[in-house]
Amino acid sequence: MWSSKIRCSIEYKKILYDYWDTFLNFIYPRNIYCIICNISIDNDEKYSLCSKCRASLQFIEGKICIKCGKPLDEEYLLDKCHQCINSEYFYTNAISCMEYDDISKKIIYDLKYSKKRYISYHMAEIMRDIFAKSDIKDIDLIVPVPLHRQKERERTFNQSYLIGKYLGKMTDIDIDVTSLIRVKNTMTQNRLSREERIENLKDAFKVIRDDNIKDKNILLIDDVFTTGATVNECSRVLVEKGAGEVYVLTFATGRNV
Ligand SMILES: [Zn+2]
Ligand SMILES: [Zn+2]
């Protein structure tokens, strides 16, 4: 009862924010300033980036691990990175748009902590283009990695939801934000090792509407793929509750060293 009340209030808030975004887009048309350096740009500049900033993005090109999507050195002989050879994953495969470096870090930071919500639209544009070029087909649902309700209240929004919402509109794929929830308010993972992250995320997510995801092919959305522990734990509960294939699309990914 209480949890359904909270869920209702989160959903209500999301609806309000959607209206607010539409209103802001109306009074502040997109593509006026570069989202990285803030200089004024022509309104046909791709992703609302000036040409210099766009050229500085390290898009993932060349050889990648077929499982986690991280870039591999051209001289590396296998098709999976050493991490993926030795691990068990519940998602089919993951892809990412660009390397997690100072530039992509700034884009994500500006969205999450400077609360520049409009950036999520342009991140979704980039993710749409990378998704369109990928081999991932027949997706039924977009599922953003959920935040714990307490964290969502503190931040006022879930960045993965914002990106997923725009991506859903751009690709005409339904978004599901009610079936997968985060039940454990995990500590920030930045300083944790791979093993600590896995432990930290144990039982952090739960599927509460099995019917919605049953036999559905899911595209899981997140901003950053670091060790993949978060998306793997989400994939585990989704697959255990009967989802079809789970694919992962993130904005940026780190390299395996
Ligand atoms: Zn710029
Ligand atoms: Zn890999």
Q: Note the ligand closest to the C-alpha atom of 255.
A: 2
Total number of domains constituting the chain: 1
pLDDT tier at 31 (50, 70, 90 boundaries)?
confident
Q: Which domain holds residue 163?
A: 60-253
What is the Cα–Cα distance from 200 to 186, expressed in whole angstroms? 6
Query: What is the average per-residue pLDDT within 132-141?
Result: 95
Question: Is the residue at 81 inside a domain?
Answer: yes
**Is residue 139 situated within a structural domain?**
yes
Tell me, in angstroms, the distance from the centre of ligand 2 to residue 243's CA. 22
Task: For residue 38, tell me if it sits in a domain.
Answer: no
User: Is 189 inside a domain boundary?
Assistant: yes
**What is the structure's pLDDT at 136?**
94
Q: What percent of the chain has pLDDT over 90?
A: 68
Q: Is residue 200 part of a domain?
A: yes
pLDDT band of residue 104 (cuts 50, 70, 90) is very high
Report how far ligand 1's centroid is from the alpha carbon of 222 (Å).
24
For 204-228, write each residue's pLDDT tens digit. Answer: 999 999 999 999 999 999 999 999 9
Ligand (nearest to CA of 89) = 2
C-alpha of residue 110 to centroid of ligand 1, in Å: 14
Q: Is residue 98 part of a domain?
A: yes
- The whole model's pTM is what? 0.89
Task: Tell me, yes or no, whether 238 lies in a domain.
Answer: yes
Whether 42 is covered by a domain: the verdict is no
pLDDT score at 176: 96
Q: What is the CATH number of the domain that holds 65?
A: 3.40.50.2020
Residue 37 has pLDDT above 90, yes or no: yes
Q: What span, in angstroms and rounded, lies between the C-alpha atoms of 39 and 78?
A: 43
Q: Report d(CA 129, CA 87) in Å as an integer.
A: 29
> What DSSP state is assigned to residue 145?
P
Lowest mean pLDDT among 9-18, 106-115, 125-134, 160-169: 9-18
DSSP H or E stretch at residue 97 = strand 93-99
**With 70 as the cut, is the pLDDT of residue 151 above it?**
yes
